[in-house]
Amino acid sequence: MLRSAGLSLSLTAALACSPLVPAFSPATFAGEVDVVAVDATRQSNGMWRFSVTLRHDDEGWDHYANRWDVVGPDGTVYGERVLAHPHVDEQPFTRSLSGVAIPDDVRQVIIRGNDSVHGLGGVERTVDLIR
């Protein structure tokens, strides 16, 4: 799917990404943000656009998915999408972030979610970047 003009490439990472295996039982992660799907598109200017679908049992302003990050294999955070409000009645939900600069030698990124109570956690996705 093309999302911008020019020589854009698209990757439906929901098919090409794999969840990282949690080190603890699923009960340990109850209430944390799961990354369900990712679409990564290289824009004509060389920047990246990510559309990320999250699932979280948002309860309201005291406990909700409040951010997702684009992180390199070395831990460098290339992009951060702040979520300004709870999505109690919209699950799962998708939000995008454009203009993410990722060096050409980086071939994979990790998308991870954050919530206002647990911080980072839940299912992450590793995305192969097609250049």
Nearest to 123 by CA among 11, 53, 32, 25: 32
* CA-wise closest residue to 117 among 63, 81, 48, 74: 63
Q: What per-residue confidence (pLDDT) applies to 22?
A: 38
* Cα–Cα distance measured from residue 65 to residue 83, given in angstroms and rounded to the nearest whole number: 7
% helix, strand, coil for the chain, step of 5: 5, 45, 50
CA-closest candidate to residue 125, choices 40, 14, 11, 33: 14
Residue 4 in domain = no
Any bridge partners for residue 40, and if so which? 11, 50
Q: How many structural domains compose the chain?
A: 1
Residue 2 lies in a domain: no
In the prediction, which pLDDT does 131 show?
81
Residue 69 in domain:
yes
Query: Is 1 inside any structural domain?
Result: no
Per-block mean pLDDT, blocks of 10 residues, the chain (131 long) = 35 38 40 92 96 88 90 98 83 94 97 92 94 81
Which residue's entry shows tokens 């300004």?
Answer: 84
Q: Does residue 68 sit within a domain?
A: yes
CATH code (residue 41): 2.60.40
Query: pTM (2 decimals)?
Result: 0.76
pLDDT at position 24 is 37
Residue 3 lies in a domain: no
**pLDDT for 60:** 85
Which domain, by its residues, includes 61? Answer: 9-128
